Each structure stands twice: as structure tokens, then as C-alpha cells.
Structure 1
Amino acid sequence: MWNSFWSFLWSTVVIFAFIAYLMILFNILVDLFWRDHKTSGWIKAVWVIFLVVLPYVTALVYLIARGKGMAERAREQALQAKRETDDYIRQAAGRSPAQEIADAKALLDAGTITHSEFDGLKAKALGQQLAMDRMVR
């Protein structure tokens, strides 16, 4: 099949171009059907038809015409996923440091713990908050 260096090089270029096209195609399809909720179904169908009939030209036109919006939608989706993850981490971590400190203050006011124990509980709660903030970032 590869009887010379040039045929091997040409095959490598063709395979690279095909894989690059597939990656671009999947990004375009994800953008059309999962991220872009404003474009009508007919317009989406026209894009898909052209992606099948004239694949490279249509992909290039799509990236030029809608690339900025594509990037903005991808960024917004990533930010939404980060917010959901952060909310889940906070929810799974349990009580907030403010709740821990308020409970410790109630114990201090009731005379159950000393002021130094209160300071230790407060430092522990604030330390957990700092650790959680580092995990989220």
C-alpha cells in the first residue's frame, strides 16, 4: 500500500484531515443541537444537509459565520457546569462555616464551652471554608 515515502506522507495528511473534519463536525453538531436553542429546526436541518453535501466548505463557512457565538455558547455551558459543580460540592460538604460559628457562639453563651474552645471551633470552621474554596477553584 505504501510503496514510497510520499504515498505514506500523503496517506498521513488525508487521515489527519479526515480526523480533523470529524472533530469539527462533532463540535458543529453539538453546537447546533445542544447549545444553540435560538436557531430554528429548519435552519439546523439546512446546516446538516450542507455538512453532508459539501462537508469542508460548509464547516469552514459555519466556523466563520457562527464561530464567535459558538465560543460564547461553549463558555456559557462550561460556566454553568462549574456553577452546578460548586453548588453540589457546597451541598455535599454540609453545614456552612457561618452555621458552625453560630452554633459555637450559642454554646459559648450558654457556658457549655470556654472562650478558647470557641476560638478553636471558629478557626476550624474558617479553615474548612478555606479548604473548600481551594477545592472549588
Structure 2
Amino acid sequence: MDDYPLLNLFWTMLWFFIWIMWLFLLFKVITDIFRSHDMNGWAKAGWLILALILPFLGVLLYVIFRGKSMGQRDMDAAQEREAAFRSYVRDAAGQPEGSASGSHVAELARLAELKDNGSLTPEEFDKAKAKLLT
């Protein structure tokens, strides 16, 4: 280890980190090529060949020419995932309208709100809750 100074170790780690980041970017570009709906098959094939044959130049050119639309596609996909997640949570947490347990939840929430603002005493809240749950 005496012939490999600490500064060389840092340089090696830096280059390794840059190489790993470039690999991530390469995979991101390749997935974006296939995900892009505004390109036809020949354009996708051309970008893919360029990214695979001349990887550094191909990735750099793709990011330069299509980076903005690549970011927009990422934002659109994230918004779609967020909307799907919110829809799933609403469907999983709530009952279909008109069901008995859905109305019980709404009634309990209304009773808790009345208790919180002082319209109901804790005893009245407990009685109403017990009546509702039986």
C-alpha cells in the first residue's frame, strides 16, 4: 500500500463514482427511448444504436437534444403514479357510498368534531358512539 498514495485512492473513487453515475444515466436514457411516445420506431432504433455503439457521445447527445422532454415524461409519469396511489388509498380506506360502515365512519367523524368544538360533552359523545356502534 505504500506505493498507492491516498490522493490516488480518492481519484480512483471519484472516477468509479462518475462511471456508476454514467451507467445510471445510460439506463435512464435507454428506458426513456422506449417510453417516448412522440418518436417513431426508426427514431427509437437510431437513438438506441447511437447510445449502444457510441455510448458516451450517444447519451450526451440524447440528453442535449431530448433532455427537456425526458424530464417532462418523468414528471408526467410521477403525477400518474401519484394519482393512481391516491385513488387506491381512497378506494381502500373508504367504503362505497351508501354502505353502512361508510356512513358510520362519517357519523363518528361528525360526532368527534362536535365533541372537539364543545357542542357535545364527553359523556354524550360516548353514549352516541355506543349507540352508533351497536
Question: The TM-score by the shorter chain falls in which range?
Answer: 0.5 to 0.7
| TM-score calculated relative to the size of structure 1 | 0.64
SS of the counterpart of 2:38? coil
CA distance in 2, matches of 1:46, 1:29: 12
How far, CA to CA, are the matches of 2:111 and 2:19 in structure 1? 56
**Structure 2 residue aligned with 1:66:** 66
**Equivalent position SS for 2:19:** helix
Q: Secondary structure at the match of 1:3?
A: coil
Quote the residue 2:23 is aligned against.
Answer: 22
Does 1:12 pair with 2:13?
yes
Structure 1 residue 40 and structure 2 residue 27: aligned?
no
* More helix per residue: 1
Q: Which amino acid aligns with 2:95?
A: R
Q: How does the TM-score come out when normalised to structure 2?
A: 0.66
Q: Which residue of 2 aligns with 1:93?
A: 93
Identity %: 31
Indicate conservation of the 8 Å contact 2:32/2:70, yes or no: yes
Q: 1:124 to 1:75 in 2, by over 3 A?
A: farther
User: Is there any run of 5+ residues in structure 1 with no aligned partner, and where?
Assistant: 105-118, 127-137
Give the aligned CA root-mean-square deviation in angstroms: 3.1
Count of residue correspondences: 110
- Evaluate the alpha carbon distance shift between residue 47 and residue 124 of structure 1 in structure 2; reply closer, same or farther with a 3 A threshold: farther
Q: CA deviation at 1:30?
A: 1.7
Equivalent-residue separation in structure 1 for 2:5 and 2:103 (angstroms): 78
In the TM superposition, residue 9 of structure 1 has moved relative to its aligned partner by 3.4
Bigger relative contact order (CA 8 A; separation at least 6): 1
Aligned with 2:95: secondary structure? coil
Q: Deviation of residue 124 (structure 1)?
A: 5.1
Q: Which runs of 5+ in 2 are unaligned?
A: 114-134
Query: Whose radius of gyration is greater, 1 or 2?
Result: 2
